Structure 1
Amino acid sequence: MKYEYDKEVDGLYIWFVEDIEEEKCNYENEIWPTELKEEIGLLFGKNGLLMGLEVMPASKYFEQNHLDSFDQT
C-alpha cells in the first residue's frame, strides 16, 4: 500500500497497487457511496478491480501528524 496526502484539499489517497505511477493510467472511475457519507471514495481500475480509497476530509478521520508524515501530492 502507498499513502498520499494532498494538504490543499485535505485528501488522503490509499493505494492498493504496487507501482501507483504506472497504474494511474489504468484508473477508470470512482464511487462515493452514501453509506460512507460520501467522504470515502472507492477508486477502480479499467479492469474493475479496486485500486484504492480516497478520503475527504482526511483530517476528520486521521490525526494531522499522521497525515503530514505521508507523501505530499
Structure 2
Amino acid sequence: MTNLMRRLPWVVLILGTITLGLAPFTPQPHLFEKIQMLINGELSRGIDIFDLLLHGLFPLLLIVKAALSFKHFNTK
C-alpha cells in the first residue's frame, strides 16, 4: 500500500481532487452534499453511497499520501 501511494503522482491526486472531488462546483459539490447526508443519516440509497465513494476517492487518497509523506519526512 505504501509503495502504491508513493508511486501515485501528486499532480494526479491534486487534479483529481479539484475536478472530481469538487464536481459540480455549483450550487454545492456532491462530496459535501453526500457527507452532509451521511451525518444526517440520510445516506441510504446505493447511488448515493456510490456517489460518495466516487467523489471522495481522490481527496481520501490525497490525505493518505500527505500523511504518509509527513510521517516519512519526520522519521528521517
Q: TM-score range by the shorter chain?
A: under 0.3
Q: Which has the higher strand share?
A: 1
Q: Which has the higher helix share?
A: 2
TM-score (norm 1): 0.27
Larger Rg: 2
TM-score (norm 2): 0.26
